[in-house]
Amino acid sequence: MKIALDAMGGDFGPPNLVAGAVMALREYPQIERLHLVGDARRIEAELKKHRCGDGRVEIVHATQMVEMSDGAVESVRHKKDSSVSRAVDLVKKGEAEAIVSAGHTGAAVAATTIKLRTLPGIDRPGIAAIIPSETNVFVLIDAGANSDARAEHLLQYGIMGSVYSRHVLGYGNPCVGLMSIGGEDVKGSDLTKEVFKMLKESQLNFRGNIEGHDLFAHPVEVVVCDGFVGNVILKTCEAVGDAIFKWLKHELTKNAKRMAGAYLARNAFRAIKKKVNYEEYGGSVLLGVNGICIIAHGTSTPLAIKNALRVAAESIEHEVNPHIIEEIRRYHETTAPLEPALR
């Protein structure tokens, strides 16, 4: 399989990205070609540091990069030679099967949507983030692609999240929850009330409204929300986890007795840390575009980038897109027939 990595994005740029690429090349023989897209001179220098002469690497020079302060759509229009745009071009031309970017999320979404287009029946792509609960992992969709979503977008997220949960995570009949503010059917915003009705009429295994505490205490396999809310949930989960571990460390180092206790119990802390460590999950999949795009964390470490490349490889392998097209078609056949003009 052939993957294109935007080697300029993310808070730390080429050093972390190239280091992650080198790790992935060593670990995943199924990668036949890895395009590293960006400033060729800097990428070469990083490869040299790692003494990497792997013949599967191809450097694709791009003269521009998207800054975090750039507008998403504007970046595609005005920075035609940006690393992320060039990486998407490789997918469009068939030279790569997937793109991985740790840069400006909006720019990656816009470049992919504009250049590759959405799948038939999908209006807007959504980011599917994988989050661990105590007993399972669940898909949170949309985790930040579409911050002004309409009801039909959220219905499509439910369908796409279900497909992903079934075909990639292996759940037989994934349970779908709608993120709301109150578990009862009548609760929610105007948007979620409308989506509630659509999900209920669909053939999805819809459990109804869920709230924050359901995420971990009674987890469903797919959590549906708009991109603003999903992004806030994702970042709040990380923030609370980080804050609690920081407070714990502070409290546990206050005196010798506590430090001795912490030393004895150190493997317990390690087990939890590993479980909540986003680096292990690597990246989130942008579902609904006619291609494969993996969105990695802006602060990605080399380990996180290696795992994002693993997620890209898995996505290529699982061929999720034909299943999404099929499920959307079935939805319109069984539940909401399309107007003849839209067929």
Which residues of this chain interact with a copy of itself, rule CB under 8 A? 68-71, 105-106, 133-134, 144, 147-148, 179, 181-190, 192, 211-217, 227-229, 231-244, 246-248, 250-252, 254, 257-258, 260-269, 271-272, 275-276
- Residue at token pair 């670990």: 27
For a copy of itself, which is the closer residue by CB, 270 or 332? 270
CA 55 to chain centre: 29
The rounded distance, in Å, linking the Cα atoms of 296 and 174 is 25
CB of 116 vs a copy of itself, minimal distance in Å = 23
CB of 43 vs a copy of itself, minimal distance in Å = 26
CB of 267 vs a copy of itself, minimal distance in Å = 7
For a copy of itself, which is the closer residue by CB, 91 or 128? 128
Handedness of CA 199, 200, 205, 210 (dihedral sign): positive
To which H or E segment does residue 53 belong?
none
For a copy of itself, which is the closer residue by CB, 70 or 314? 70
CB of 208 vs a copy of itself, minimal distance in Å = 12
CB of 247 vs a copy of itself, minimal distance in Å = 5
The rounded distance, in Å, linking the Cα atoms of 26 and 302 is 13
CA distances from 23 to 5, 29, 257 (A): 13, 11, 40
Q: What is the CA radius of gyration of the chain?
A: 21
Are the C-beta atoms of 35 and 60 separated by less than 8 Å?
Answer: yes
CB of 311 vs a copy of itself, minimal distance in Å = 21
For a copy of itself, which is the closer residue by CB, 242 or 317? 242
For a copy of itself, which is the closer residue by CB, 1 or 272? 272
From the CB of residue 286, how many other CB atoms can be counted at a distance below 10 Å?
A: 28
For a copy of itself, which is the closer residue by CB, 15 or 183? 183
Of the candidates 149, 74, 81, the residue with the CA atom closest to the CA atom of residue 106: 74
Number of residues that this document lists for the chain: 343
DSSP state of 337: P
For a copy of itself, which is the closer residue by CB, 239 or 338? 239
For a copy of itself, which is the closer residue by CB, 248 or 338? 248
CB of 138 vs a copy of itself, minimal distance in Å = 12
DSSP state of 29: T
CB of 211 vs a copy of itself, minimal distance in Å = 5
What does the buried/exposed string (b/e) look like for 244-259 if buried means 16 or more CB atoms within 10 Å of the residue's CB? eeeeeeeebeeeeeee
For a copy of itself, which is the closer residue by CB, 243 or 336? 243
Give the sheet arrangement for strand 283-287, strand by strand. Answer: 57-61, 33-38, 2-6, 98-101, 292-296, 283-287, 126-132, 137-141, 222-224, 175-179, 205-210
The rounded distance, in Å, linking the Cα atoms of 169 and 133 is 14
CB of 181 vs a copy of itself, minimal distance in Å = 4
Are the C-beta atoms of 41 and 8 separated by less than 8 Å?
Answer: no
Task: Indicate the SS3 state at residue 91.
Answer: helix
